[in-house]
Amino acid sequence: MKKIEIDTAGARSKILVGESWEKAGTFLPGTGVIIISDDNVFRLYGDKFPPFPVFCIKPGESSKKLEVIELLAERLLGAAIDRSGFILAIGGGVVCDVAGFLASVYMRGVRCAYVSTTLLSQVDASTGGKNGVNLGNAKNIIGTFLQPEFVVCDPSMLMTLPDEEYFSGLAELIKTAVIGDEKLFRLIEDHYGEVLSRDRELLELLISMAIEYKASVVSEDERETGLRRVLNFGHTFGHAIEMYKSAKHGFAVASGMELAVSYSFNRGYIDASEKERIIALLKRFDLLRFHDIPDDQLYQYIVHDKKKTGSEIYFVFTSGIGRAFAEKVPVSEIFDFYRQNRKDR
Ligand code: GLY
């Protein structure tokens, strides 16, 4: 088991990688706890949940909306949860986002923690304190920062994930490797078979490495005023592809990364061999998807992107495996690049 800490101005978050999720109950207060989960996770693991009331949401991105927050807040109030309450999320990115957002606004804030059940949420979504909901087609437009007190990342929970969900998470793992850790990239390349077979020990190592990198970034720049922007690598086009194609987040980000790598190459930031190495790894795990967003729709997605300021957008480039930086680029240039590179196959 590895304990990784994220230290920010007002909080310390402990990420426990390799801890048994069934021990989560021992870290909780004795009373006032509410568990938020989804129907799928509850069906698989509900009989072993800690003994507190459970509110389940519908699995999937459609639950990331304000109506769901309102309904859950009503249920918390109905259960007489007051400011001393504690919300434990047991689920993937959507459950943790919804529960974290609720915890940050309910009675102006209650304590929270997560048991993170998907690869995507273990390597990215559940750590770092970002949470939020969508507004129509605009992703994560309403949200807050709240560091969970602890996050349990138990790789044994990944064995029950559907393939699509597992590979979606793998894309975020590769993203972390590309932007911050060349060694992690090499480990994924060298252990292709064990990654496919979900080798538990290897997963624990890869997840720890990804979280260690993310923890270092978030500890330096919790509110994304600089360095943290690099975590959005692949996400400018990725979010647009996710919304337009209703693709799973990781696959959309993988295609967004392919575009971002090519864009980095076009600008002379990365050489051809490194570009090919990154794209080859994405292809090897079959992560790339077709995308053919029409101009008018792309415009809508980009103008609502949180990374946009005025007529420019912070676009994340890589300058080689393990290195990334954000640079302001005119929105018009982003459109032109997409028009020349859309995958209309
Ligand atoms: N998922 C990007 C971030 O946490 O900043």
Q: Does residue 168 share a domain with residue 151?
A: no
CB contact at 8 A, 87 and 131: no
Q: Does residue 235 share a domain with residue 121?
A: no
Ligand 1 site-directed mutation target among 220, 228, 230, most atoms within 8 Å of CB: 228
Residue 345 has a pLDDT of 45
Strand partners, 8: 11
Ligand 1 site-directed mutation target among 114, 122, 232, most atoms within 8 Å of CB: 232
**Alpha carbon of 269 to ligand 1 centroid (Å):** 23
Please tell me the total count of domains within the chain.
2
pTM of the complete model:
0.95
- Per residue in 268-304, pLDDT (tens digit) is 999 999 999 999 999 999 999 989 999 889 988 888 8
Residues ≥6 apart with Cβ < 8 Å to 264: 270, 275, 317, 318, 319
**Does residue 175 have its Cβ closer than 6 Å to ligand 1?**
no
**Does residue 128 have its Cβ closer than 6 Å to ligand 1?**
yes
Residue 261 has a pLDDT of 98
CB contact at 8 A, 152 and 21: yes
**Alpha carbon of 128 to ligand 1 centroid (Å):** 7
- Per residue in 153-199, pLDDT (tens digit) is 999 999 999 999 999 999 999 999 999 999 999 999 999 999 999 99
Q: Does residue 182 share a domain with residue 289?
A: yes
- Tell me the CA distances in angstroms from 290 to 184, 278, 341, one per residue in order: 27, 18, 11
Nearest atom in ligand 1 to the alpha carbon of residue 172 is: 1
Helix (H, G, I), strand (E, B) or coil at 126: coil
**Does residue 228 have its Cβ closer than 6 Å to ligand 1?**
yes
**Alpha carbon of 313 to ligand 1 centroid (Å):** 17
Q: Does residue 138 share a domain with residue 192?
A: no
Alpha carbon nearest to ligand 1 atom 2, residue:
231
**Alpha carbon of 148 to ligand 1 centroid (Å):** 14
CB contact at 8 A, 11 and 222: no
CATH code, domain carrying 218: 1.20.1090.10
Residue 336 has a pLDDT of 93
Q: Does residue 238 share a domain with residue 155?
A: no
**Does residue 130 have its Cβ closer than 6 Å to ligand 1?**
yes
Q: Does residue 190 share a domain with residue 155?
A: no
Rounded to 10°, the helix 182-190/163-180 angle is: 140
CATH code, domain carrying 97: 3.40.50.1970
Among 160, 192, 225, identify where a domain stops: 160
**Alpha carbon of 183 to ligand 1 centroid (Å):** 21
**Does residue 234 have its Cβ closer than 6 Å to ligand 1?**
no
**Alpha carbon of 79 to ligand 1 centroid (Å):** 32
Ligand 1 site-directed mutation target among 123, 130, 144, 174, most atoms within 8 Å of CB: 130
CB-CB neighbours of 163 under 10 Å: 10
Q: Does residue 305 share a domain with residue 193?
A: yes
Alpha carbon nearest to ligand 1 atom 5, residue:
231
Q: Does residue 171 share a domain with residue 153?
A: no
Among 114, 131, 160, identify where a domain stops: 160
**Does residue 124 have its Cβ closer than 6 Å to ligand 1?**
yes
Q: Does residue 235 share a domain with residue 139?
A: no
Q: Does residue 184 share a domain with residue 46?
A: no
Q: Which of these, 83, 91, 109, 89, lies nearest to 11 by C-alpha position?
A: 109
**Does residue 231 have its Cβ closer than 6 Å to ligand 1?**
yes
**Does residue 111 have its Cβ closer than 6 Å to ligand 1?**
no
Instruction: Provide the domain limits for residue 67.
Output: 2-160
**Does residue 68 have its Cβ closer than 6 Å to ligand 1?**
no
- Tell me the CA distances in angstroms from 8 to 46, 182, 216, 310, one per residue in order: 33, 26, 10, 29
Give the C-alpha separation, 152 to 240, whole Å. Answer: 31
Residue 344 has a pLDDT of 57
**Alpha carbon of 77 to ligand 1 centroid (Å):** 30
Strand partners, 28: none
Q: Does residue 122 share a domain with residue 236?
A: no
| Residue numbers of the chain with a pLDDT score lower than 50 | 345
Nearest atom in ligand 1 to the alpha carbon of residue 130 is: 4
Alpha carbon nearest to ligand 1 atom 3, residue:
231
Query: Burial of 263 by CB count in 10 Å (0-12 exposed, 13-18 middle, 19+ buried)?
Result: buried
Among 123, 142, 160, identify where a domain stops: 160
Q: Does residue 322 share a domain with residue 261?
A: yes
